Amino acid sequence: MTDTEPSVALGELIDLSGKRALVTGGGKGIGAAIARRLVEAGAAVTIADLDPNASRAAAQIGAEFVTCDITDASQLAAAFDVADGGGGLHIVVNNAGIFPTTGSLTEVTDAFVDRMLDVNVRAQFSATREAARRMATGGSIVNLASIAGLGGGANISAYAASKAAVIALTRAAANELGASGIRVNAIAPGIIDTPGVQEQMEPLRAGGIDVDARIASNPVGQRGLPDHVARCALFLASDLAAFVSGHVLVVDGGATA
Ligand SMILES: NC(=O)c1ccc[n+]([C@@H]2O[C@H](COP(=O)([O-])OP(=O)(O)OC[C@H]3O[C@@H](n4cnc5c(N)ncnc54)[C@H](O)[C@@H]3O)[C@@H](O)[C@H]2O)c1
């Protein structure tokens, strides 16, 4: 920092009081952890999730809750209406996503690919458009990509393609929306221990594979936890990242290093 720059206290940089935030898919897993950190930093947070049972968890952390399938245009708009309360939005975390195993590239059906792209790309695109329209005073959009969108992997071709598209959308939107004071960044997590991942790994566990060891198989040697991602989302959402846009932040304990 040069002496011509204002000195801002650290607490102020992460203080989100007065900010309104929407987290899609915040009912559990990574999204729930992000919502919790945003509330802790003072933001008024709305969670939009497919699962109505997630309303209890939202209430426990002090977030609003809207049952919403992000692929449904009217449900998505209704969720944004609740989140902005007529006064605009400052933070949108596009976290809702699906990750069923694609299986063999030669066997995958068009319907499977359509569904993957509809949730992970098209709906996230719609949410980004909705966010940009409502961030009249600027803001921060954080998109959940994946290391799969950077490096691929066997049997996950549809998912990898969807997350590569999220990264491209993030960079394009960062270019386009910067002039409106809107920063757009992505987080690319490695394996994070969430309900969705545990569900995915159940057949492996049943087959005698040490799933916990697999989840902790990275240079840091720790299980990736939802809060590891949430801390980075808080960074990107806050003024700590005031000059960061179009970035893809890899959060994988060094797995892709
Ligand atoms: N967990 C990981 O290892 C990992 C790694 C890389 C990227 N990601 C990405 O992070 C995000 C969250 O992953 P997670 O592991 O926490 O998932 P999860 O399956 O544990 O939770 C996802 C949440 O999103 C909700 N959701 C799903 N489809 C929705 C829809 N159409 N509309 C609204 N809500 C919907 C679910 O109800 C659920 O509450 C996803 O985009 C995923 O691709 C996860």
CA 90 from chain centre, in angstroms, equals 15
In a domain, 209, yes or no: no
Q: Give the tens place of pLDDT for each residue, 59-114.
A: 999 999 999 999 999 999 999 999 999 999 999 999 999 999 999 999 999 999 99
* Euclidean distance between CA atoms 113 and 111, whole angstroms: 5
State pLDDT tens for residues 20-63. Answer: 999 999 999 999 999 999 999 999 999 999 999 999 999 999 99
Q: Which of 159, 167, 169, 252 is catalytic?
A: 159
Please confirm, yes or no, whether 159 is among the known catalytic residues. Answer: yes
State the distance from the centre of ligand 1 to the C-alpha of 1, rounded, in angstroms.
Answer: 38
Instruction: Please tell me the predicted confidence (pLDDT) of residue 6.
Output: 73
The CATH number for 28's domain is 3.40.50.720
- Going from the Cα of 13 to the center of ligand 1, the distance in angstroms, rounded, reads 28
Give the count of domains, the chain. Answer: 1
Cα(240) to centroid of ligand 1, in Å?
Answer: 26
Assigned domain for 159 exists: yes
Tell me if 121 is assigned to some domain: yes
The binding-site residues of ligand 1, defined as CB within 6 angstroms of any ligand atom, are: 24-25, 27-31, 49-51, 54, 68-71, 95-99, 119, 144, 146, 189, 191-192, 194-197
How many angstroms separate the Cα of 149 from the Cα of each of 106, 168, 176? 20, 10, 22
CA 26 to ligand 1 centroid distance, Å? 8
- Give domain status of residue 160, yes or no: yes
Domain ranges, residue 184: 15-193+226-250
- Tens of pLDDT along 120-140? 999 999 999 999 999 999 999
pLDDT tens-digit readout, 160-177: 999 999 999 999 999 999
Query: Is residue 256 in some structural domain?
Result: no
Rg of the chain over CA atoms, in angstroms?
18
Contact 70, 92 (CB under 8 A): no
The three-state (H, E, C) secondary structure of the chain, written as one string? CCCCCCCCCHHHHCCCCCCEEEEECCCCHHHHHHHHHHHHCCCEEEEEECCHHHHHHHHHHCCEEEECCCCCHHHHHHHHHHHHCCCCCCEEEECCCCCCCCCCCCCCCHHHHHHHHHHHHHHHHHHHHHHHHHCCCCEEEEEECCCHHHHCCCCCHHHHHHHHHHHHHHHHHHHHHHHHCEEEEEEEECCCCCHHHHHHHHHHHHCCCCHHHHHCCCCCCCCCCHHHHHHHHHHHHCHHHCCCCCCEEEECCCCCC
Mutate-to-test residue for ligand 1 from 22, 144, 159, 162, highest number of ligand atoms within 8 A of CB: 144
